[in-house]
Structure 1
Amino acid sequence: MAQEITLAGGCFWCIEAAYLSVKGIISAQSGYSGGETQNPSYKEVCSGNTGHAEVVKLSYDPTIISTREILEIFFALHDPTQLNRQGNDVGTQYRSAVFYHNDEQRVLAEQIITEITEDEIWQGDVVTQIEAAQTFYPAEQEHKDYFNNNPENQYCQMVVSPKLAKFKKTFASKLK
């Protein structure tokens, strides 16, 4: 039976593109979560005034990929030590967060944060928030599979492509 987890790690275009290429991921849907405004738009979320994070809600087959593996990929895909930002993307909408859908996911996220802190994987403290899943608002249609549909976009070329190249090299055995 499929499970879901919702992750925020900066711009959702990169997170979605990476997970769409992973074995066991049934779907990766960009959207917004963790804020107060109902049915926010991309423009509203980008303003930083809604409280939402750009997120990707994953549906996955736990017989093919474990929650731990999904979270390990997540913590390698972005810098969890950057508070309310990823690189030049600045604001609470780009925060690092795990929106867990069950207690197992919460416990695993906490364990992995402890492990990467003890192993000093990152310089600085991990600031990833761990919160119960909240209302998920799907992003507008133009954001669906944005990277693959807009490879010529300057942001995709300058930011997403290099991240995905590193990701694909690191997680080659997990790719479809």
Structure 2
Amino acid sequence: MKKIVLAGGCFWGVEAYFKQLKGVVDTSSGYANGNFNNPTYEQVCKGIATHAEAVSITYDEKLISLEKLLEHFFRIIDPTSLNKQGNDVGLQYRSGIYYTTEVEKQIAETYIQKEQLNYDKSIVVSVEPLTEYYLAEEYHQDYLDKNPNGYCHIDLGLVKADEVK
């Protein structure tokens, strides 16, 4: 099993989207790469904590590759939007790929270079080493399962039938 942490706006929709995919074993919502340990949602929303709302994705690389996960990631975000996805605006909504190995870094950078050819504007998705990931509060985990009418900037129907578990 492998893990990657992705930030693409509000973590509720990102988690709900990725948990549908064949090969994704587990997901969790959390806070990545900020200025102090164990931030709360309130601290992140108020800008006291500089973490990104992010999703940790555990996947079986025999069933889905990192490249395929990145393809899905770019399907659900606007990679040219800085600190904003959908109606969510602020530092915590920045888009990022947080890696733990040099191989993951290389895959992410290569993917973005190829993807840039499809955009007139510059892609602003950051590729950074994962410095920390803190699990968000329990009520954020599987939020859209618990609250089916909850806000989501992502079209969860973008997963194709043959990609669903």
Inter-partner Cα distance in structure 1 for 2:46 and 2:70:
28
Q: Please report the TM-score for the alignment, with normalisation by the length of structure 2.
A: 0.95
Q: Does structure 1 residue 126 correspond to structure 2 residue 123?
A: yes
SS of the residue corresponding to residue 83 of structure 1 reads coil
Counterpart position of 1:84: 83
Residues matched between the structures, number:
165
Select which of 157, 168, 173 maps to 2:162.
Answer: 173
Inter-partner Cα distance in structure 1 for 2:49 and 2:121:
28
Inter-partner Cα distance in structure 2 for 1:133 and 1:74:
17
The unaligned stretches of length 5 or more in structure 1 are none
Q: Which amino acid aligns with 2:46?
A: S
Identity %: 41
Inter-partner Cα distance in structure 2 for 1:15 and 1:70:
12
Q: Does structure 1 residue 141 correspond to structure 2 residue 130?
A: no
Inter-partner Cα distance in structure 2 for 1:175 and 1:116:
24
Select which of 156, 160, 164 maps to 2:156.
Answer: 164
After TM superposition, the runs of 4+ consecutive aligned structure 1 residues lying more than 6 A away are: none
1:108 Cα offset (Å): 1.1
Q: Which amino acid aligns with 2:70?
A: L
Counterpart position of 2:53: 54
SS of the residue corresponding to residue 16 of structure 1 reads helix
Q: Does structure 1 residue 150 correspond to structure 2 residue 142?
A: no
1:130 Cα offset (Å): 0.4
Q: Which amino acid aligns with 1:86?
A: Q
More contact order relative to length (CA 8 Å, sep ≥ 6): 2
Counterpart position of 2:18: 19
The unaligned stretches of length 5 or more in structure 2 are none
Deviates more, 1:14-23 or 1:42-51: 42-51
SS of the residue corresponding to residue 98 of structure 2 reads strand
Inter-partner Cα distance in structure 2 for 1:175 and 1:22:
5
Q: Which amino acid aligns with 1:83?
A: L
1:37 Cα offset (Å): 2.0
Q: Does structure 1 residue 41 correspond to structure 2 residue 71?
A: no
1:123 Cα offset (Å): 4.0
1:134 Cα offset (Å): 1.6
